[in-house]
């Protein structure tokens, strides 16, 4: 064991590992990248996190740089869970600390998963209505700010977080809180590092107010950089809060350790509805008709997904052969039973004559589950593992979607492969999964080439490759080049304020480079679905 790992083991209640087997296990996430860390640290409590950050910060002042990368469940698609220094896993910071069912509030450690949280809340008749992977940690949902498919109705994780505790670069803990502007002076007068953050962020906003207003007025949704700086000051409430800066920051500004969230009442059952259309225009017209019903989910699937699934034996019999071409519209309703039934009947009534549809009943619930299973079959079609999700979570505005899909078909012809779209119309957040042969040089080259091509296509349609999740290492190879010079300057100043010694994930977002990404593209994607 190296000297630093041994020293940290003496100082922490948790554990530090540097054995090759453990380092290998933490060297990949869901991205096509591989970065072997120098050490893996699994802190047992918040004090462990503070000691680690303080020690690494002290080393950095002596020109010994060992960056810290925070890792939740290891499901990041952009390589932000990977680091060449210390990978700090929050897997032991997994306690639900307090549930106040009357106030509908819950306090958790950052390593609690969404599935764990909602299972515990269900005992109180509550839930946090986020339709993300249940294995994702709450800390990661904030840091990655991924747009989930229920965000069209429930506004996403941003709406449900009241405050966070984060460990900043000095090793101190700060608790974010929304304060009135007239009380900001009390924070800025603090002599602590927390006080300096409030002072400098306030000054930074004042000196860049025109750019921040311009960023806030953009129509395109984009999680690249630190664009949530636009939400620190809210003119409507005359308030100030550092919390928004941690959204989409991917662990580059500090380490989230605790979170307080508010909850919704758990509804007894979700019922689903699926309809098939021969053209995207027909599907979009129908979506416009049922959108006022406010479904929990409103998704679109290119039916070619199910054709591929059927070839693998995952043919959703209830929906074939009616659903084997065109586009599927999937709606789910989570209102009270009587209201949900009325909405489903309305969906049937609004259906055009040339479309086919099925409404979920007690008798066909299994068939709806088979349909979901068919989608997973497509994603896992490649025998090497899951189709590499390196262009997931992109944004296309609704008025551009039809033309975008037409141009995407031309790109498919140019690339010689099908790339059916699936995703959420209610959030305008979509995915495609190109087939990538990582075991070939050509396949690895394809990733960076395709990112550039696809990014250009999205920009032609006022979309964004980081519309539904931030850039990490991988997408930063194209998004950094798209940033205006004044944007880069603003984001660099934010990073320097929170992390002057560059100890928090410096190789992602602004610190990512194409040369580094090329070196880290792995040669296989085996067992990725189990990461």
pLDDT digits (tens, 9 = 90+) for 323-353: 567 999 999 999 999 999 999 999 999 999 8
Query: Which backbone phi and psi does 373 adopt, to 5 degrees?
Result: -65, -35
For the stretch 310-321, pLDDT in tens is 777 776 665 555
- In whole angstroms, give the CA distance from residue 284 to residue 249: 34
Supply the pLDDT for residue 354. Answer: 85
Residue 321 has a pLDDT of: 54
- Tell me: the pLDDT tens digits for 268-290? 889 999 999 999 999 999 999 99
Average pLDDT, the chain: 92
Which residue is associated with the tokens 């880290």? 520
Cβ–Cβ contacts within 10 Å for residue 288, how many?
12
Closest to 507 in 3D by CA, of 469, 531, 476, 479: 476
In which band, very low, low, confident or very high, does the pLDDT at 90 lie, cut at 50, 70 and 90? very high
Q: CATH classification of 271-379 is 3.40.50.1100, yes or no?
A: no
Helices (DSSP H) in 208-249: which residue ranges?
Answer: 209-217
The pLDDT of residue 319 is 57
**Quick count: other Cβ atoms within 10 Å of Cβ 183?**
10
pLDDT tens digits for range 413-423:
999 999 999 99
The three-class DSSP label of residue 387 is: coil
H or E element in which residue 233 lies: strand 233-234
Q: Is the pLDDT of residue 91 over 50?
A: yes
Choose the weakest-confidence range: 54-58, 181-185, 297-301, 502-506: 181-185
Class of domain 3-89: alpha beta
The domain ranges of the chain are: 3-89, 99-265, 271-379, 394-530
The encoded tokens of residue 469 equal 């999740």
Q: Which of 98, 101, 153, 145 is nearest to 127 (CA)?
A: 101
The CB-side HSE value for 289 (13 A sphere, CA atoms) comes to 17
Across 334-416, where does the E strand assignment appear? 356-359, 394-395
Q: What is the pLDDT of residue 530?
A: 44
Q: Mapped to the 3 state alphabet, what secondary structure does 18-66 carry? A: CCHHHHHHCCECCCCEECCCCEEEECCCHHHHHHHHHHHHHHHHCCCCC
Residue written as tokens 């630190």? Answer: 226
Residue 219: per-residue pLDDT? 76
Selecting from 3.30.465.10, 1.25.40.10, 3.30.420.250, 1.10.10.10, what CATH number does the domain 99-265 have? 3.30.465.10
For residue 273, report the phi and psi dihedrals to the nearest 5 degrees: -145, 135
> Distance of alpha carbon 75 from its chain centroid, rounded?
9
Q: Which of 426, 481, 482, 477 minimizes the C-alpha distance to 447?
A: 477
Q: Which residues contact 463 (CB under 8 A, 6 or more apart)?
A: 220, 394, 395, 396, 397, 400, 404
The answer to whether the beta carbons of residues 498 and 254 sit under 8 Å apart is yes
pLDDT at 529 over 50: no
Nearest-angstrom CA–CA distance, 233 and 244: 10
Closest by CA position to 419, among listed 448, 392, 440, 459:
392
Please report the pLDDT score of residue 456 as a whole number: 98
For residue 70, list its beta bridge partners.
88
**92-108: average pLDDT:** 97
pLDDT in tens, 9-42: 999 999 999 999 999 999 999 999 999 999 999 9
Of all residues in the chain, the percent with pLDDT exceeding 70 is: 96
pTM: 0.94
Under 8 Å between Cβ of 463 and 404: yes
Give the pLDDT of residue 317: 61
Query: Strand locations in 101-189, DSSP E?
Result: 105-109, 126-127, 161-167, 173-175, 179-180
pLDDT tens, position by position, 218-265: 877 899 999 999 999 987 668 999 999 999 999 999 999 999 999 999
528: confidence class by pLDDT, cuts 50, 70, 90? very low
| Residue of higher predicted confidence among 190 and 409 | 409
């Amino acid at each position: 064991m190296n000297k630093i790992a041994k020293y940290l083991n003496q100082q922490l209640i948790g554990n530090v590992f540097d054995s090759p087997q453990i380092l290998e296990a933490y060297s990949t996430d869901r991205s096509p990248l591989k970065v072997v860390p120098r050490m893996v640290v699994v802190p047992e409590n918040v004090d462990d996190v503070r000691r680690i950050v303080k020690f690494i910060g002290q080393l950095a002042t002596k020109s010994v740089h060992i960056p810290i990368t925070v890792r939740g469940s290891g499901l990041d698609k952009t390589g932000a869970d990977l680091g060449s220094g210390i990978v700090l896993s929050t897997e032991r910071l997994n306690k639900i600390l307090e549930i106040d069912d009357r106030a509908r509030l819950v306090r958790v450690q950052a390593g609690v998963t969404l599935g764990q949280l909602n299972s515990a809340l269900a005992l109180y008749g509550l839930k946090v209505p986020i339709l993300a992977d249940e294995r994702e940690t709450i800390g990661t949902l904030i840091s990655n700010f991924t747009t989930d498919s229920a965000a069209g109705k429930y506004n996403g994780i941003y709406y449900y977080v009241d405050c966070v505790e984060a460990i900043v670069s000095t090793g101190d803990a700060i608790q974010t809180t929304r304060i009135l502007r007239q009380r900001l002076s009390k924070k800025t007068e603090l002599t602590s590092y927390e006080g300096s953050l409030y002072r400098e962020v306030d000054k930074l906003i004042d000196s860049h107010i025109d750019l921040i207003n311009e960023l806030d007025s953009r129509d395109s949704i984009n999680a690249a950089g630190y664009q949530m700086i636009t939400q620190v000051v809210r003119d409507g409430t005359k308030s100030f809060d550092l919390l928004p800066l941690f959204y989409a920051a991917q662990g580059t500004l500090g380490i989230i350790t605790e979170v307080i969230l508010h909850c919704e009442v758990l509804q007894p059952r979700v019922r689903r509805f699926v309809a098939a259309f021969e053209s995207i225009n027909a599907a979009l017209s129908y979506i416009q008709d049922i959108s006022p019903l406010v479904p929990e989910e409103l998704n679109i699937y290119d039916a070619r997904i199910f054709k591929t699934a059927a070839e693998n034996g995952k043919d959703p019999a209830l929906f074939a052969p009616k659903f084997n071409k065109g586009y599927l519209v999937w709606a789910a309703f989570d209102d009270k039973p009587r209201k949900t039934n009325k909405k489903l009947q309305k969906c049937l009534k609004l259906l055009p004559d040339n479309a086919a549809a099925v409404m979920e009943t007690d008798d066909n619930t299994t068939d709806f589950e088979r349909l979901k299973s068919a989608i997973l079959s497509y994603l896992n079609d490649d025998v090497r593992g899951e189709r590499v999700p390196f262009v997931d979570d992109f944004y296309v505005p609704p008025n551009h979607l039809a033309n975008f899909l037409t141009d995407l078909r031309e790109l498919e012809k140019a690339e010689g492969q099908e790339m059916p779209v699936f995703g959420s119309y209610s959030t305008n957040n979509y995915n495609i999964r190109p087939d990538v042969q990582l075991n070939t040089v050509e396949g690895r080259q394809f990733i960076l080439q395709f990112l550039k091509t696809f990014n250009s296509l999205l920009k032609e349609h006022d979309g964004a490759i980081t519309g539904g999740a931030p850039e990490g290492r991988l997408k930063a190879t194209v998004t950094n080049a798209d940033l205006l010079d004044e944007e880069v300057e603003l984001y660099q100043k934010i990073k320097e304020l929170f992390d002057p010694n560059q100890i928090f994930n410096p190789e992602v977002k602004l610190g990512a480079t194409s040369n580094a990404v090329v070196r880290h593209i792995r040669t296989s994607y085996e067992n990725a679905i189990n990461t």
